Amino acid sequence: MSIPSTARDGVNRVLRPFNVRVVRGQSDDPAIKPFLSARRTLAAARRAGLSLEDYIDNYSAAPGATAETVDALLRLADLGEHVERVCEIGPGSGRYSARVIAATHPDTYEIYETAGDWLPRLKALPNVVVQPADGHTLSATADKSVDLVHAHKVFVYLPLVVTVGYLDEMARVVRPKGVVAFDVVSENCLDDSTTSEWVSSGSTLYSMISRSWLVDRLAERQLSFLGSHFVPLSGGRTELLVFRRD
């Protein structure tokens, strides 16, 4: 089994009101975290009469959160006229991918997704290239080759060393003047009441990472901080951090 059943049970307790469940992963690697079952989530969205984006926004965050986040990201990123290549880690349902593709029309949109059941849906998006996802690296992507590399609601779940490894990879693949964007649970997301609720719920779903430490570490890798935007998360919020490569 790829994830301890206690951890999966904890996630499913949080998700129970939404009538979806995480799937058992297909890997023993602790870096590869489970996500919603594609089949069950699509069926639940259909039953609710909602688009997949609206369905996921409604249960995990707030209505309109995906669109607001992409707008904030693109405003901060200011990618210019022609976007050649974008890379996304852990796109899942593709709710962010679809919006970024529609707004920027990249020639190529690379994805690294460890959950195979979402791939047929992702492959149907324009110009998507499915890269081999080993759960740790962007090994099929060349150095300094992408205009934007991003991840949403991925680093909130992954072990610290996996996140930091991915950040090093993002710094490697982004081209000069390109943009790196991702959200984390930073210290700015953890007020006293949120922290107390997490403690009393006993959920071990999310991990915190220091924003100032991240900004300093990425600055050493020629990534200058552009700004941030708060994003709703079930039971709290994340902070989307956006950087430009010098």
- Using CB under 6 A, list all residues that contact ligand SAM: 31-33, 35, 56, 89-93, 95-96, 112-115, 133, 135, 152-154, 158, 162
One-character DSSP codes across 101-143: HHHH--SEEEEE-S-GGGHHHHHTSTTEEE----SS--TTS-T
Compute the least distance from the CB of residue 25 to ligand SAM, in Å. Answer: 8
Q: Which is nearer to ligand SAM, 32 or 209 (CB)?
A: 32
DSSP assignment of 167-199 = HHHHHHHEEEEEEEEEEEB-GGG--HHHHHHHH
Query: Pick from 203, 141, 204, 136: which is nearest to 175 by CA?
Result: 141
* 35 neighbors 151 (Cβ within 8 angstroms): no
CB 178 within 8 A of CB 146: yes
Min dist CB 208 to ligand SAM, Å, is: 16
Q: Are 60 and 41 in contact (CB under 8 A)?
A: no
Based on the number of CB atoms within 10 Å of its own CB, is 59 exposed (0-12), middle (13-18) or buried (19 or more)? buried
- CB of residue 234 vs ligand SAM: minimum separation in angstroms? 10
Residue with Cβ nearer ligand SAM (181 or 218) = 181
Nearer to ligand SAM, 85 or 95 (CB): 95
Nearer to ligand SAM, 120 or 176 (CB): 120
Q: What is the nearest approach in angstroms of ligand SAM to the Cβ of residue 81?
A: 26
Q: Which is nearer to ligand SAM, 201 or 222 (CB)?
A: 201
Q: Which is nearer to ligand SAM, 89 or 189 (CB)?
A: 89
Separation of alpha carbons 212 and 244, rounded Å: 16
Cβ 27 to ligand SAM shortest distance, Å = 9
Q: How far apart are CA 106 and CA 148, in angstroms?
A: 10
Cβ 56 to ligand SAM, closest distance in Å?
Answer: 6
